[in-house]
């Protein structure tokens, strides 16, 4: 079975450019999460969706970040304009059931390693 | 005070040793607790959930102490393959990951 799929795996871009990260959750999972991981701050929850609807985006650092989930099998995280401090590994995760109960195991994708120069 | 705190380590232990990590949390209303494992440059993966009564999975034992607001992970008979970063996860309305404890098992 395919796990969570993320693309690209690596992205190097210049400051000011737009960056779009993509995620395909596990089929049938109703929760999708976007995380950012850095050495200094660890793994931070940016936003999560339930049934394609954004539930909590309080972790999104600022207006330069936006996320969408147009359907159950696809989500994007966009940074515009990008800055060097956005350099991190961005993980997407999905789960069946979530905060409302059910199995809460989150399955993570392999991550996108973003470098902004 | 951070919501979830872990000793970053590294914990360097010889093969066969027993090692334990603690993780403290600040919100007494926290509802669920988990340990995830993350290998270098890989994604986190669920290791085990932590139940109020404590639970064991092979060489791994997880415990919850609500009075003192911490969870623990005990690894017996450490293997080289246990070398990884162990992330504590606490849930209250949303999940919060600790920054992880790095374990290095030495031959």
pLDDT attached to residue A73:
96
Q: Mind listing the pLDDT tens digit for each residue in A55-98? A: 999 999 889 999 999 999 999 999 999 999 999 999 999 998 76
pLDDT value at position A1? 64
pLDDT band at A101 (very low <50, low <70, confident <90, very high): very low
Residue of A nearest to B6 (CA): A42
Residue B80 has pLDDT above 90, yes or no: yes
Q: Is A104 left (phi over 0), alpha (psi -120 to 50) or beta?
A: alpha
What pLDDT is stored for residue A99 in this prediction? 55
Instruction: Examine residue B12 and say whether the peptide bond preceding it is cis (omega within 30 degrees of 0).
Output: no
Tell me what percent of chain A is helix, strand and coil, each rounded to the nearest 5: 5, 55, 45
Q: Is the pLDDT of residue B87 over 50?
A: yes
**Mean pLDDT taken over chain B:** 94
Q: How far is B80 from chain A (nearest CA, A)?
A: 23
Choose from B38, B92, B95 for mutation: most chain A CBs within 10 A: B95
For chain A, first and last CA: distance in Å?
Answer: 36
Omega before A8 cis (within 30°)? yes
User: Is the pLDDT assigned to residue A100 strictly greater than 70?
Assistant: no
User: What pLDDT, on the 0 to 100 scale, is given for residue A18?
Assistant: 97
The reply to whether residue B44 touches residue A91, judged by beta carbons under 8 angstroms, is yes
Whether B69 contacts B57, CB under 8 Å: no
| Average pLDDT for A3-12 | 97
Q: What is the pLDDT of residue A87?
A: 97
Residue B32 contacts A where some CB pair is shorter than 8 Å? yes
Q: How does DSSP classify residue B58?
A: T
Which residue has better confidence, A77 or A40?
A: A77
Of the two residues A18 and B94, the one the predictor is more confident about is A18
Q: What is the mean pLDDT of chain A?
A: 92
The pLDDT tens digits for B19-59 are: 999 999 999 999 889 999 999 999 999 999 998 888 999 99
Per-residue pLDDT, averaged over A36-52, amounts to 92
User: What pLDDT score does B1 carry?
Assistant: 73
Residue range B3-18: average pLDDT?
95
Residue A26 CA to residue A1 CA, distance in Å, equals: 9
pLDDT (0 to 100) of residue A98: 61
Mean pLDDT in residue range A46-61: 93
- Residue of chain B whose Cα is closest to the Cα of A47: B94
């Amino acid at each position: 079975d395919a796990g969570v799929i993320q693309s690209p795996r690596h992205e190097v871009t210049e400051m000011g450019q737009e960056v779009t990260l993509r995620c395909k959750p596990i089929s049938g999972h109703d929760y999708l999460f976007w995380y950012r991981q850095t050495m200094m701050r660890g793994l931070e929850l940016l936003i999560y969706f339930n049934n394609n609807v954004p539930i909590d985006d309080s972790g999104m650092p600022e207006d330069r970040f936006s996320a969408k989930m147009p359907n159950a099998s696809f989500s994007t995280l966009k940074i515009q304009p990008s800055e060097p401090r956005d350099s991190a590994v961005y993980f997407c995760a999905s789960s069946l059931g979530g905060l409302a109960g059910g199995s809460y195991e989150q399955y993570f994708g392999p991550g996108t390693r973003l470098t902004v120069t | 005070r951070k919501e979830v705190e872990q000793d970053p380590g590294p914990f360097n232990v010889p093969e066969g040793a027993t090692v334990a990590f603690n993780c403290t949390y600040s919100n007494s209303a926290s509802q669920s607790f988990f340990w995830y494992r993350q290998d270098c440059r890989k994604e986190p993966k669920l290791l085990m959930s932590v139940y109020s009564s404590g639970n064991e999975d092979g060489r791994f034992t997880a415990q919850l102490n609500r009075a003192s607001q911490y969870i623990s992970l005990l690894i017996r008979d450490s293997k080289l393959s246990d070398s990884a970063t162990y992330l504590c996860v606490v849930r209250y309305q949303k999940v919060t990951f600790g920054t992880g404890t790095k374990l290095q098992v030495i031959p």
